[in-house]
Structure 1
C-alpha cells in the first residue's frame, strides 16, 4: 500500500499478518512527507483553519494495546509514532500519599478485579465493591468523612519533563490522568455514595449532594491547578471526564445538571483556560441537550461522539455547534469495530471523513477505547481507511 503522508515512511506495512519485531522505526519529529507537525495540525483544526489532514487519535483498552504490540512487533509508544497519531497522554503526578490498602483508591472506594474472557481476547476491569458514604445520613457525615483526598498526596516534579518528551516529537500534550483523576464530579460521587443514593440525593436530599460535590470540586480544582502550574504552560489539552448520558438520553435533567454540576464544570475549565490550555470533555451517551451549556462554560472539544446514542449523529452536531465547538470520536466500538467487517469499518470511516472535510473542527478517533474482543484485522482496517480518507484535498481516496 502506498503511503501518502499520513503514515511514516518507515512504518510497518498494514497487513493482517503478524509483524516482525525487526521492523524499522522512524523516530523523527515531523511527518515524513509533510512539513506540518501534529501541534500545527491540531491547533489549525481546533481553529477551523485548513490543514493537511484530519488529526488522528487512538484509544484502546490495555488488552487491545497488547494485542496490537504482538501483531506489529512495536511497543504502544512506537505504534503511535509509526502511524503518526497526533495526541499523547502524559501520566501526570505520581501518588505519594498515605498507603492505599484493601484495593482502595484515593477516595477510599474499594474495588475488585474482574477478569473477562471475551471472544477474541481477555479484558480485566476494576469493579466497584463498596461505597464508603452509602450509609451517610447527614451533611455532617459527609464533612466528617476521613478519606477525602488532598492535592498534597501527589508529586508534580516530573510533569514538565513528561511534557517536554512529547513536545520534542511535535505531538500534542494531553493530561488525562487515570479514570478517577481527570476532574470528574458525578462519577466519583456515584462511587462514594452509590449510584442510586446520589441520584436520590439530587432529587430529595439536595444538601447531601451539594456537600459531596463541593468536596469533589474543591479537590479537583486544586489538583488541576497544581498540575498546570508544574507543566509551566506545556500542557496543550486537559481531558476532563464524566458520563452525563445513557444510550437513549441524559442521566439527569438539564436543570439538575445546571444546579449540581455546572459550577464545578465551569471551575475546571476556568483553571484550564487560565493556564493557556484547551478543554476537552469525555462523556458517553446521548448528551445533545447539554451541549449549549458545555459550550457556554468554554468547552473546546467534546469527546466520545457515540453513533449509537440518540441524537449524537456527527454531521448534525457539527451543523448545530461546529462554529463554537470541535468534536473527537465517532467510530463505533459497539457495532462496527467488534462485529463489523473491514469493509463496514471502511465505509464508516469514509462517511466520517466526508463530514469532517466539509465542516472542519474534528479529530478522528473511535467513540471510546477499542475493546479486546475486536479483531486485529478491524483495527488494521480502521488505520488503512483513515490513511486513504483522512487527507484534505484532491488526493483523498474515493
Structure 2
C-alpha cells in the first residue's frame, strides 16, 4: 500500500492529521520461545491473504496447548504461563515521548495476539469450541483459565502504565464478545465469567488516569450497560452490519455515557463503495457526530486487502473535508 500511496505509513497518517499513535510496549526478554510459538506457548501458522506484497496476513492457531486439559489442576500445571517479569519496561516512557513531541495521543494496545483480554487468549489456549463447551458444561476449567490469564495481564498492564509515568493517554483492551447477530456467549454467562475481569482491567487503567477503550467485534448491545458500569470510556470498533450496532442507535441509547470509535463499513462501503458512496457515508457520520462529539473517526475494523487504495484516499480526503468542526 505504501508504494501505491507514494508515502510511508507514518507520512500518510501525518498528512491527514491522524491523532492516535501506538507504542509497541515492553520488550520480551524471557526464555527463548519455541519456533512459531507466542508467549502463551500457542503455535500458529501464517496465512497470506490477497495482496501482491504479502503484507496482509493472519495467523491460524495450530493445536491449542490446553486442548486436552481435564481439570483446573491441569490448567495450573501448564508450563507456559507468561510472567510480567519476562518483559523489559524501560523504554516505554521514551516511546511515549517520541509520540508526544509530535502532539499526538499515545495509545497502548499490545499486538493483535497479545492484547489485554480474557476470552480471546482462552480461545487460543483451549480451542474455541472447547472454551465455549467449558463455559456451559465444565465451568471450573473455564474459570481456571480466565484466572490464570488475568493473573498475568493485571500486573503486566499496571507495570506498563507505571513505566509510562502518566504519558499513555488511552489503553485499548481487546476481546471479541460478539458475532454478527448476537453475543458469542449469553449476557448472563458474560456477567458470571468475564465482567469482573473486565472491570479489573479498567480499574488498573483508571488508577493511572488513562482512558479505557475496548475493542470487540460484533453485536454486543446487550452488555454495553455492563461495560459502562465497569467504567469503559470508548467502545471500538462499531460494525454497522452487526445486529443493533448502528452508530446512530448506539449514540441515542448510550451516548451520554460512552464514546465510540469506528463505524465505517469494511464489509461494504470500503471494498465495494464508489467514491461518492464513501463521501456520503463520511458526511452522514460527521453530521451525526457534530452536535455532541464523543466519536473517533475510523473504519469498523482493519481495512482489508481487497479494498482499493483509491477508496482509502477518498475516505481520508472526505474526513478532512467533513470532519472538522
Query: CA offsets, 1:182-212, max 9 Å, x none?
Result: 2110000000001111011111111101100
SS at match of 1:302: strand
Query: CA offsets, 1:269-328, max 9 Å, x none?
Result: 000000010100000001111100000000000010101111001011011111111000
The equivalent of 2:316 in structure 1 is: 383
Equivalent residue runs for 1:89-238 within 5 Å: 89-117=22-50, 123-238=56-171
The equivalent of 1:340 in structure 2 is: 273
CA distance in 2, matches of 1:261, 1:325: 20
The equivalent of 2:243 in structure 1 is: 310
SS at match of 1:161: helix
1:121 is displaced (CA, Å) by 7.6
The equivalent of 1:78 in structure 2 is: 11
Query: CA offsets, 1:100-158, max 9 Å, x none?
Result: 11201110110001122359986221111110000010111001000000011111000
TM-score using structure 1 length: 0.80
Distance 1:216 1:245, change over 3 A: same
TM-score using structure 2 length: 0.98
The equivalent of 1:248 in structure 2 is: 181
The equivalent of 1:17 in structure 2 is: none
SS at match of 1:240: strand
SS at match of 2:99: helix
Query: CA offsets, 1:47-80, max 9 Å, x none?
Result: xxxxxxxxxxxxxxxxxxxx1x213332211221
CA distance in 2, matches of 1:235, 1:181: 18
SS at match of 1:369: coil
CA distance in 2, matches of 1:238, 1:115: 29
Structure 2: 5+ residue runs without aligned partners? none
Which of 353, 359, 362 is the matching residue for 2:295? Answer: 362
Distance 1:267 1:111, change over 3 A: same
Q: Is residue 222 of structure 2 the alignment partner of residue 289 of structure 1?
A: yes
Structure with higher RCO (Cα < 8 A, 6+ apart): 1
SS at match of 1:125: strand
Structure 1: 5+ residue runs without aligned partners? 1-66, 393-398
Aligned 8 A contact 1:120 1:374 in 2: no
SS at match of 1:114: strand
1:391 is displaced (CA, Å) by 1.6
How many positions carry a matched residue from both structures?
325
Greater radius of gyration (CA): 1
| RMSD (Å), alpha carbons | 1.3
